[in-house]
Amino acid sequence: MSSPAPSVPPHAPDGSRTALVRRARKINRVLAATYPDAGCELDFTDPFELLVATVLSAQTTDRRVNAVTPTLFERWPDAHALAGAERADVEDVIRSTGFFRAKTDSILGLSAALVERHGGQVPGRLADLVKLPGVGRKTANVVLGNAFDVPGITVDTHFARLVARFRWIDESDLKDPVRTEHAVGALFERREWTMLSHRLIWHGRRRCHARRPACGACPVAHWCPSFGVGPTDPVVAEGLVTTQGRA
């Protein structure tokens, strides 16, 4: 879904907290209309598959992860099976995702921990998830939001880039993903957190790219204080829009 360039440059936001919240929520509403199908781009059928897939997605594309997980889960469908897998066999299956030795450490370790601490089941609490090997808050929030319907904010590189461009939070908060998570969360109702994360990530992958954002084809350009970072010409900008995520 493409959008024309704004007819006038965006207005600089005023400095009040109320104006910030209104602007942020307006952007969220427009992104919801722009990306009605936004959601997790990792394929999974249960919390365990999502947990493993999310760990594998570090430093690679969701598309690449989705290419290897069918084989991975066919051979080792649950934590009990994967905990008992031979390291070399797992490495061979996930090799194309990059950093495969470290990722093998993580998914074997978290599988063993799930068996030992949780009877092989993925827990539905942040405090338990972040104690698993290779699982941080970002991964935990992905699992909670998409497998357990527990609202959470996923601060990945796209999310952090967009909240910086939107100037939703203080620059100092951007240095710490947890502070970013809490500061952005304070602008929205809790029930919006998971879908907000998806929408910003989709927008970052499809339009608001790191190097050349498609400013002239951006549906939220009018409310973005960073308008003009990328090409503003509608034709040029439209050529930068992708129909699928780049990462």
Q: What pLDDT, in 10s, does the model give residues 191-217?
A: 999 999 999 999 999 999 999 999 999
Q: pLDDT value at position 172? A: 85
Q: pLDDT value at position 14? A: 61
User: Are residues 158 and 141 located together in one domain of the fold?
Assistant: no
User: Closest Cα to residue 206, out of 172, 173, 230?
Assistant: 230
Of the residues 156, 173, 175, 233, only one is catalytic, namely 156
Describe the crossing of helices 193-206 and 137-147 by its angle, rounded to 10 degrees: 110
Task: Say whether 173 is catalytic.
Answer: no
CATH number of domain containing 203: 1.10.1670.10
Checking if the pLDDT of 44 tops 50, the result is yes
Checking if the pLDDT of 13 tops 90, the result is no
- List the alpha helices (DSSP H) in the chain: 17-34, 47-56, 62-75, 79-83, 87-94, 100-118, 126-129, 137-147, 157-166, 177-185, 193-206, 234-238
**What's the mean pLDDT in 97-126?**
97
Q: pLDDT value at position 175? A: 87
pLDDT-derived band at 8 (thresholds 50, 70, 90) equals very low
* Average pLDDT score, the chain: 93
- In the chain, what percentage of residues exceed pLDDT 70? 93
Q: pLDDT value at position 173? A: 86
Give me the domain span that covers residue 218. 17-37+154-238
- Higher-pLDDT residue of 171, 225: 225
Does the residue 12 lie in any domain?
Answer: no
Checking if the pLDDT of 103 tops 70, the result is yes
User: Are residues 138 and 58 located together in one domain of the fold?
Assistant: yes
Q: What pLDDT, in 10s, does the model give residues 133-192?
A: 999 999 999 999 999 999 999 999 999 999 999 999 988 888 899 999 999 999 999 999
Q: pLDDT value at position 75? A: 98
Task: Say whether 138 is catalytic.
Answer: yes
Of 147, 177, 198, which closes a domain?
Answer: 147
Does the residue 159 lie in any domain?
Answer: yes
Checking if the pLDDT of 47 tops 90, the result is yes
Q: Which two tokens stand for residue 20?
A: 């910030």
Q: What is the largest CA-CA distance in the chain?
A: 61
Of the residues 138, 149, 173, 233, only one is catalytic, namely 138
Q: pLDDT value at position 65? A: 98
Cα separation, 156 vs 153, whole angstroms? 9
Structural domain count, the chain:
2
Checking if the pLDDT of 6 tops 60, the result is no
pLDDT-derived band at 244 (thresholds 50, 70, 90) equals low
CATH number of domain containing 63: 1.10.340.30
Checking if the pLDDT of 5 tops 60, the result is no
User: Are residues 120 and 158 located together in one domain of the fold?
Assistant: no
User: Are residues 22 and 75 located together in one domain of the fold?
Assistant: no
Checking if the pLDDT of 1 tops 60, the result is no
**What's the mean pLDDT in 227-236?**
96
Of 147, 180, 196, which closes a domain?
Answer: 147
